[in-house]
Amino acid sequence: MDLSAIRAYVEQTAILAGETAMRYFRQPMQIGTKRNIRDMVTDGDKASEAVILPRLREAYPQFSIVSEESGRSEVPGAAYFWHIDPIDGTTNFAAGLPHFSISIALADAGNQALVGVVYDPCYKELFSAARGMGATLNGTPIRVSGTPVLEQSLLSSGFSADRNGREIGNLNVWHDMLLYCRDLRRLGSAALDLAYVGAGRLDGYWERGLNTWDVMAGILVAREAGGRVSDYGGGESGLYSAGEIVASNGIIHDEMLAVIAGAGK
C-alpha cells in the first residue's frame, strides 16, 4: 500500500473540506444537538462531511468508514478504516471562534494509524503524517518540544460533551496539573491539541471521553514528530476503549502520568 499517495490524497481532501466549512463560518447556520446540549452539529459539519465521504469512497471503495456525523459504514472484509471528524471543535465553529479542524485518519482493523491529517482552515495549516515517514506542517518537518520538566511546560486539556459525573475527575486533574506546570490552555479541538504537541507549540495534552475520529489523526502526527502518546496508565489499551489520551514531548510524560494518577488524592 502506497502510504505517500494516500497521504497526499487525504491532504487534498482535508483542504477541500476546510474550504467548504469556511463558507459556513460566521454565517447564519442551523445548529442541532445530538446526545445533549453540548454535543452540537451544524450545517458546516454536514457540508464538510459531504465533501470527504464521496472522495474517500470513490478512491478507496475497499475501506470502511467511521465518521462522527454518519456513523459506521462497513465494507465486508475490509482491512482498513477511515476515521473522520468533518469539524473537530464544532462549539468553536458555531460560536465564530477561529479554532477548529478537519481530522482524517486511516487505520488498520487494530486501530493502528497509518495516515493522519489535521487541517486548520482558518490559518491554512496542514498537519500531516504517515506511519514511519515523519510529520509535517505545510510540508515542512515538525518536531516536539525539548522542554525538560513539567514545571516549565505549557499543557492543554478538554472536557467531554458527555461530562456529567465523570468529568469531575478531570477537574481534579486540571487543578493539580495547574500547580505543577507553567500554564494550561483549553482550546477546544482535540485534533489540533495533538497536532500542536507534534509541532512543539504545546509540551503536553491530556483528555478523556474521546472517540477515534477526534484523535486518531492527531495521535499519529504527535508520534511521528517524536512525541509519546499513551492512555492514563502509560500503556495503549485505553487509548480507544476508554478514550483517554496523554500526549507529550516524551520527556515530561511520566511526570504528567504521575499527576493524573494522584489527582484529587
User: What CATH number did the domain enclosing 248 receive?
Assistant: 3.40.190.80
Average pLDDT, the chain: 92
> Is the predicted pLDDT of residue 161 greater than 80, yes or no?
no
Kindly state whether residues 15 and 85 are assigned to the same domain: yes
Length of the chain: 265
Grid coordinates standing for 253? 510524560
pLDDT for 243: 86
Q: What is the mean pLDDT of residues 30-57?
A: 83
Query: Does residue 101 share a domain with residue 15?
Result: yes
Q: Which three cell numbers stand for residue 250?
A: 516524551
Maximum mean pLDDT: which of 115-124, 159-168, 239-248:
115-124
Which domain covers residue 186, as residue numbers?
150-262
Q: Are 185 and 250 in the same domain?
A: yes
The 10s digit of each residue's pLDDT in 179-224 is 999 999 999 999 999 999 999 999 999 999 899 999 999 999 999 9
Sign (positive/negative) of CA torsion 232, 233, 234, 238? negative
Instruction: Tell me: do 54 and 173 sit in the same domain.
Output: no
- Say yes or no to pLDDT of 106 above 90: yes
* Same domain as 120, residue 164: no
Residue 77 has a pLDDT of: 80
Q: Do residues 201 and 160 share a domain?
A: yes
pLDDT at 174 over 70: yes
Which residue did the predictor score with more confidence, 150 or 160?
A: 150
Which residues face 23 on adjacent strands? Answer: none
Q: What is the mean pLDDT of residues 66-84?
A: 84
Cell numbers at 243, concatenated: 478514550
**Judgement on whether residues 164 and 83 belong to the same structural domain of the protein:** no
Cα–Cα dist 186/158, whole Å: 6
Last residue of a domain, one of 94, 119, 141: 141
Domains held by the chain: number: 2
Check whether residue 157 and residue 256 sit in a common domain. yes
Round to the nearest angstrom and report the end-to-end CA distance of the chain.
Answer: 48
CATH number, domain of 16, equals 3.30.540.10
- Phi first, then psi: give them for residue 29, nearest 5 degrees: -145, 155
User: Of 141, 160, 193, which closes a domain?
Assistant: 141
pLDDT at 177: 97
What backbone phi and psi angles, to 5 degrees, belong to 57? -65, -35
Residues 154 and 135 in one domain: no
**CA–CA separation, 72 vs 156, rounded Å?**
30
Residues 121 and 16 in one domain: yes
Q: 58 and 187, same structural domain?
A: no
- Which of 85, 90, 103 shows the shortest CA–CA distance to 188? 90
pTM above 0.85, yes or no: yes
CB burial class (10 A; 0-12, 13-18, 19+) of residue 46?
middle
Is 119 in the same domain as 221?
no
Final residue of a domain: which of 124, 141, 158?
A: 141
Beta strands in 68-153 (DSSP E): 71-73, 80-88, 101-108, 113-120, 125-130, 135-137, 140-141
Residue 86 has pLDDT above 80, yes or no: yes
Q: How many whole angstroms separate alpha carbon 89 and alpha carbon 187?
A: 9
Percent of the chain whose pLDDT exceeds 90: 79
Quick check: 176 pLDDT over 70?
A: yes
